[in-house]
Amino acid sequence: MADTFKITLASKREKSVLRRHPWIFSRAIEKVDGEPKLGDTVEVYAKNGQWLARAAFSPHSQIRARVWTYEQNQQIDQSFFLQRIQTAYQSKSALINNSDALRVIAGESDGLPGLTVDLYKDILVCQFLAAGVEKHKAEIVAALEQVFPQLAIFERSDVDVRQKEGLKPISGWLKAGAQTSTWINEAGSQILVDVEQGHKTGFYLDQRDNRLIAADYCKGKQVLNCFSYTGTFGLHALKAGAEHVTNLDVSQLALDTSAKIYQQNQLDESKYTHLNADVFKQLRQYKKQGQQFDCIILDPPKFAENKGQVIRACRGYKDINMLALQILKPGGFLLTFSCSGLIEADLFQKVVADAALDANVEAHIIEKLTQAKDHTVLLSYPEGFYLKGLVVQKR
Ligand code: SAH
């Protein structure tokens, strides 16, 4: 029989576990019985001896344990993973009716801390980002094969956060498929997703709903799509009747993929431009040239990876938003986003307000945007909310 490991929390530290927050920080732990290794299952007790939870131990991380279950009779085995995956998949597939791509599992929010699973039509892409899911990889993959028997499974655990858990980067097939890229459907458009070379798991599903909302603002407009990646904001804008779209990104591979996607969707070549440029520099350049746009989309990568980066990140957000507001025509729309979870919605709004002030522009919030519906936020884990957006009109 496997050893049973036990951790006992310091006084009052049981509160967050009782409120079903899945993270147990190293400083909350008073005592560890036995020598649990990377990813081992531990029983979590309050100081008064009350059993609280069963969790995965991570000896190298500040988040020393991540809760699997708050039910004492639930074992962490293949049927546990099967049940969590099935429940999440059933709940979410009912929410999305305009695409064959879905975020099936979003880690803690779906009760599987550290696991991301994205479905791209015929390929599943997984990221194992914490010790617990890494340890149980074989059972998780077997459970995924049971729920999705037809699909290939690709791993993209080639990310820095694994270092914090003491895990090495790794990527490749878990269940081989014919090819590493696939055409998904998003609201009637065909989009090429490269699960091997693409960013993250290959595509940004979290912006699905916002891309369609944005498209509505772009009808008949000159659009500047900043941080365009494979161009999906611009694609939907053109489909909705935008006059012209300029896609800006520093990744030539992303721009080339975007051009391929636009051809596949038979968009009129005279209506779009792909420009390999740094957004910070290019916006300054446009300002200098006096070039203006009716609609500007700012969807930058995560600027704040940790608390120490928040102030710098805010400066970055303020800078691009100020420049964008300056080169926006009066009456035009700025669709601005932040996917830094550490920058809360109120703070982001303040940063955009400061940007308007510095740009000497009167601007009004028309809509507030958030992550796509399949990126649900578990109420006991508010950290699952990270993507914020504002639609701002310049007067
Ligand atoms: N809007 C996209 C996702 C954007 S992801 C979509 O809906 O699919 C962020 C993108 O910003 C990446 O493609 C990355 O290559 C690009 N990027 C990062 N820093 C940049 C910079 N300084 N200038 C231009 N592009 C940048």
The token pair at 212 is 């369609």
User: Quick one: which atom of ligand 1 is closest to the CA of 251?
Assistant: 15
Please compute the mean of the pLDDT values over residues 220-244 and round it to a whole number.
Answer: 98
* Ligand 1 midpoint to CA 228 (Å): 5
Rounded CA separation 319/38 (Å): 42
β-pairing, 115-120 vs 123-128, is antiparallel
2 pLDDT more than 90: no
- 306 pLDDT tier (thresholds 50, 70, 90): very high
Q: Is the pLDDT of residue 386 over 50?
A: yes
How much distance in Å is there from the Cα of 13 to the middle of ligand 1? Answer: 40
Strand 222-226 relative to strand 189-194: parallel, antiparallel, unpaired?
A: unpaired
Give distance in angstroms: CA of 130 to centre of ligand 1. Answer: 26
Distance from C-alpha of 228 to C-alpha of 222, rounded to nearest angstrom: 15
- Look at residue 1 and tell me whether its pLDDT is greater than 50: no
Q: Distance between CA atoms of 184 and 259, rounded to whole angstroms?
A: 16
CA 306 to chain centre: 15
79-82: long-range contacts, CB 8 A cutoff, minimum separation 24: 81/112, 81/136, 81/139, 81/140, 81/143, 82/143, 82/146, 82/147
Q: Which residue in 390, 220, 366, 377 sits closest to 299, CA to CA?
A: 390
Q: What percent of the chain has pLDDT over 70?
A: 99
Atom number in ligand 1 closest to CA 301: 9
Give pLDDT, residue 3: 66
Average pLDDT rounded to a whole number, residues 306-320: 97
The angle subtended at Cα 385 by Cα 210 and Cα 154, nearest 5°, is: 75
Q: How far is the CA of 116 from the centre of ligand 1 (A)?
A: 21
Which pLDDT score, from 0 to 100, does residue 19 have?
98
| Residues at CB less than 6 angstroms from ligand 1 | 204, 207, 227-230, 232-233, 248-251, 254, 278-280, 299, 301
Ligand 1 atom 9: the closest Cα is on which residue? 301
The protein residue whose alpha carbon is closest to atom 16 in ligand 1 is: 227
Q: Could you tell which of 189, 227, 233, 298 is best to mutate to test the pocket of ligand 1, judged by most ligand atoms within 8 Å of the CB?
A: 227
Q: How close is the Cα of 234 to the center of ligand 1, in Å?
A: 13
Q: How far is the CA of 220 from the centre of ligand 1 (A)?
A: 24
The C-alpha angle with vertex 80 and arms to 74 and 85, in degrees rounded to 5, equals 140
Q: Which residue has the CA at smallest separation from atom 15 of ligand 1? A: 251
Take residue 191 and report the two structure tokens written for it: 């989009």
Which ligand 1 atom is nearest residue 282's CA?
23
Whole-angstrom distance, CA of residue 235 vs CA of residue 215? 9
Average pLDDT over the chain, rounded to an integer = 97
The radius of gyration of the chain's CA atoms, rounded to the nearest angstrom, is 23
Residue 121 in tokens: 């039509």
Up-side HSE of residue 116: CA atoms within 13 Å toward CB? 25
Q: Which residue's CA is minimally distant from atom 10 of ligand 1? A: 227
The answer to whether the beta carbons of residues 158 and 131 sit under 8 Å apart is: no
What does DSSP say about strands 29-33 and 5-9: parallel, antiparallel, or unpaired?
antiparallel
Alpha-carbon dihedral angle through residues 18, 24, 27, 29, given to the nearest 10 degrees: 70
Among 229, 305, 339, 375, say which to mutate for ligand 1: greatest number of ligand atoms within 8 Å of CB: 229
Cα distances from 262 to residues 181, 232, 245, 270, in angstroms, run 16, 9, 11, 11
Tens digit of each residue's pLDDT (9 = 90 or more) over 267-283: 999 999 999 999 999 99
Helix and strand element counts for the chain (H, E)? 11, 20
Residue range 81-129, pLDDT digits in tens:
999 999 999 999 999 999 999 999 999 999 999 999 999 999 999 999 9
**Threshold 0.85, pTM exceeds:** yes
